[in-house]
Structure 1
């Protein structure tokens, strides 16, 4: 609602925080193994604005969950339906959201055919560069979170990580808003 009223273009991305491996014999042990990092992780999805301020962060999910699935489970797909004027810049991990919400969920352009003309490839590279230049602020926001030593590798109980992550995200967001 805030983004629609203010006319802000949002940026959404996810990051993974390494966590301790669940005890042997516990159910759901494989849920935390990330396919990307090949480690036990929890995934945090954040939304930032054009200045890199964290506007929203979700409850952390097990690392095995795909980025787009985590966004859907948090109700972001429903928000697209309620706020049709809001645009969200995403990376290639969210192609399903782009398919479901064209014009709102904006991902980098797809790669053209190998037989496409050279100017088509050049135009795609230019569009991809413009997209990543706009989206870099969410990457900076994630990097600001990871500067906190606790979020590089979480050694405490996994149940406490979501509260700690939201607290750190709030502190970082307040600091960048006042800077």
Structure 2
């Protein structure tokens, strides 16, 4: 632990070191991305070199470090770190794949199905009428709803735009025209019961969702077994979401919900880089 320059009175700022559990490949990718961007915009000077900037931004995303804390440890302002964070998030989000291209890529590799699921990313509770749609009655908390697609191994291939927390899975899927994109790519999908009714062809469904019991109708043993088989096949998509949520900035979002889509897609790119390194 080291001391930085003194402030008023007898108080001093204490700085500690913390391990960042990411690969050097991720750091190199982000640093090179920033260098190319600086060269493209002809930016001649930054307070820190691209490698240091990349480390700071990765720490903010991975550990959810407060901007003021990172600023004090690097002798720069929190506003500067905020600007660097937003800049790199936009650069990474631009690398995220489009839905149609991601599905066609899986089809070219010989894939037959993708896994689809929705989740709620918790946010700070904000007052006001404009933030009421962000309350999810299912989860009983405020958040943003997103849908993600993974391949059969659980690798994230696409993530949707951020929507209010009260949005239903099937509503979001219809807005993104996921069914039409799946048909265009010649792929099927495995989904949970939240997507029942998405496929409009009962004889040859594109999206398989299993069976749902009601108060008036119990599931037959064969239907229960089919649900168990489907749940086992959908395990990788849960693992894909788990890798995405390893970025602790998603533990409870404090950023503007309007910027959340870029953040989610930037983290998708970083998650896939880490997955490639692990493999």
Instruction: Bin the TM-score by the shorter chain.
Output: 0.7 to 0.9
Q: Is the 8 A contact 1:53 1:177 kept in 2?
A: no
| Distance (whole Å) between structure 2 residues aligned to residue 77 and residue 104 of structure 1 | 7
Please state if 1:44 is matched with 2:146.
Answer: yes
Q: Decide which of 121, 126, 129 is 1:17's aligned counterpart.
A: 121
Q: What is the TM-score of this pair, normalised by structure 2?
A: 0.56
1:15-42: CA deviation from partner (whole Å, max 9, x where unpaired):
1111123342x4x322111121111110
Work out the number of aligned pairs and report it: 171
For 2:266, what is the secondary structure of its paired residue? Answer: helix
Please state if 1:93 is matched with 2:197.
Answer: no
Please state if 1:134 is matched with 2:233.
Answer: yes
| Distance (whole Å) between structure 2 residues aligned to residue 71 and residue 139 of structure 1 | 18
Aligned to 2:64: none
Q: Is the 8 A contact 2:179 2:198 kept in 1?
A: yes
1:147 to partner: Cα distance: 1.6
Aligned to 1:5: 108
Q: Is the 8 A contact 1:77 1:97 kept in 2?
A: yes
| Distance (whole Å) between structure 2 residues aligned to residue 42 and residue 110 of structure 1 | 26
Unaligned runs of 5+ in 1: none
1:133 to partner: Cα distance: 1.2
Q: What is the TM-score of this pair, normalised by structure 1?
A: 0.85
| Distance (whole Å) between structure 1 residues aligned to residue 170 and residue 148 of structure 2 | 12
1:81 to partner: Cα distance: 4.1
Please state if 1:150 is matched with 2:150.
Answer: no
1:42-69: CA deviation from partner (whole Å, max 9, x where unpaired):
0111000011110001111111110110
Q: Is the 8 A contact 1:47 1:55 kept in 2?
A: yes
Please state if 1:31 is matched with 2:133.
Answer: yes
Q: Which moved more, 1:89-98 or 1:69-78?
A: 69-78
Q: Is the 8 A contact 1:22 1:29 kept in 2?
A: yes
- Mapping of residues 56-95 of structure 1, within 5 Å: 56-83=158-185, 85-95=186-196
Larger Rg: 2
Distance 1:100 1:62, change over 3 A: farther
Distance 1:29 1:110, change over 3 A: closer
For CA contacts below 8 A with separation 6 or more, give which structure has more relative contact order: 1
| Distance (whole Å) between structure 2 residues aligned to residue 126 and residue 79 of structure 1 | 30
Q: Which moved more, 1:151-160 or 1:135-144?
A: 151-160
For 1:150, what is the secondary structure of its paired residue? Answer: helix
Aligned to 2:91: none
1:164 to partner: Cα distance: 1.4
